[in-house]
Chain A
Amino acid sequence: SAVISQKPSRDICQRGTSLTIQCQVDSQVTMMFWYRQQPGQSLTLIATANQGSEATYESGFVIDKFPISRPNLTFSTLTVSNMSPEDSSIYLCSYRVGSRLDEQYFGPGTRLTVT
C-alpha cells in the first residue's frame, strides 16, 4: 500500500479561525476521502475528494464550512473554516485503490482542538 501522511498531526486553534489540513499519498490514487472522528465517537465521512472537480459532500457537511481541494492524484487538503469548539475532532484522510473496499487505507489523523 502507498504511504499516506497528514500535516499537521495536531493543532490547537482559536474559535473563529480556519485550519487547513494536508494529506499526501506517495503514489497516484483514484479516490480520496475525508472523515471526522469526534471525541469518543466513530468515524463519519465528510466528503469524497474528486481530482479536478468539486468534492462530493455527505449530508450534514457543506463546502463553505469544509472546503476541500484535490489538485492532483497524490494530494488533498481539507479546511475547517470559522472554527468553534464543536469542531474539535480527529480529521482523517483516506484513499482507496480502485473501487475495492478491502484496499482502503487511512492516514494517522489530525487532532484538532478549538478553544
Chain B
Amino acid sequence: DAKTTQPPSMDCAEGRAANLPCNHSTISGNEYVYWYRQIHSQGPQYIIHGLKNNETNEMASLIITEDRKSSTLILPHATLRDTAVYYCIVCSNDYKLSFGAGTTVTVRA
C-alpha cells in the first residue's frame, strides 16, 4: 500500500470548514483514497473514498489532485462532534485496511 503523510494535528472553529490535507505521492493506479475517523473511545468510522474524481456525501467532500499525489478532506461546517482523529488511507479496494498516525482535529467553540 502507498504511504500517506498527514499533519499530526489541527484546530478548527465551530461552523467553519475544516480542510484536512493528505499526501500520497506513491499511490498507484488501482489504489483508492479512503478517509476514516475515530472519535474518542469509539471504533473508526468510514467517511468517504475516491479514485480520481472529487466526491461528496452527507458527511464530507474529497478533493483529489489531478496527479493523485495528494487529497483534501473537507468538513463543510465543523461541529464539536467532529473532534476526532482522521485517517487518510490508500489501498486497493479489496485489500486490508491499514491505519497510519492520522490527524487529530479539535473543533473549538
A-B contact count (CB 8 A): 51
Q: Bound state CA distance, A103 and B94, in angstroms?
A: 11
Q: Is A50 an interface residue (CB 8 A)?
A: no
Using Cβ atoms and an 8 Å threshold, which residues of chain A touch B38?
A: 43
Report whether over half of chain B's contact residues are helix, strand or loop; otherwise say mixed: loop
Q: Is A108 an interface residue (CB 8 A)?
A: yes
Using Cβ atoms and an 8 Å threshold, which residues of chain A touch B100?
A: 42
Q: Is B49 an interface residue (CB 8 A)?
A: yes
Q: In the complex, are the beta carbons of B96 and A102 less than 8 A apart?
A: no
Q: In the complex, are the beta carbons of B46 and A45 less than 8 A apart?
A: no
Using Cβ atoms and an 8 Å threshold, which residues of chain B touch A104?
A: 46, 97
Q: In the complex, are the beta carbons of B93 and A100 less than 8 A apart?
A: yes
Q: Bound state CA distance, A102 and B97, in angstroms?
A: 10
Q: Is A24 an interface residue (CB 8 A)?
A: no
Q: In the complex, are the beta carbons of A94 and B43 less than 8 A apart?
A: yes
Q: In the complex, are the beta carbons of B43 and A101 less than 8 A apart?
A: no
Partner of B49, one of A42, A48, A101: A101
Q: In the complex, are the beta carbons of B102 and A42 less than 8 A apart?
A: yes
Q: In the complex, are the beta carbons of B101 and A106 less than 8 A apart?
A: no
Interface residues of chain B, those whose CB is within 8 Å of chain A, are 32, 34, 38, 41-46, 49, 85, 87, 89, 91, 93-102
18 A-B contact pairs sorted by A residue (CB < 8 Å): A42-B87, A42-B100, A42-B101, A43-B99, A45-B98, A48-B96, A92-B43, A99-B94, A101-B89, A101-B93, A104-B97, A105-B43, A105-B46, A106-B45, A108-B41, A109-B41, A109-B42, A109-B43
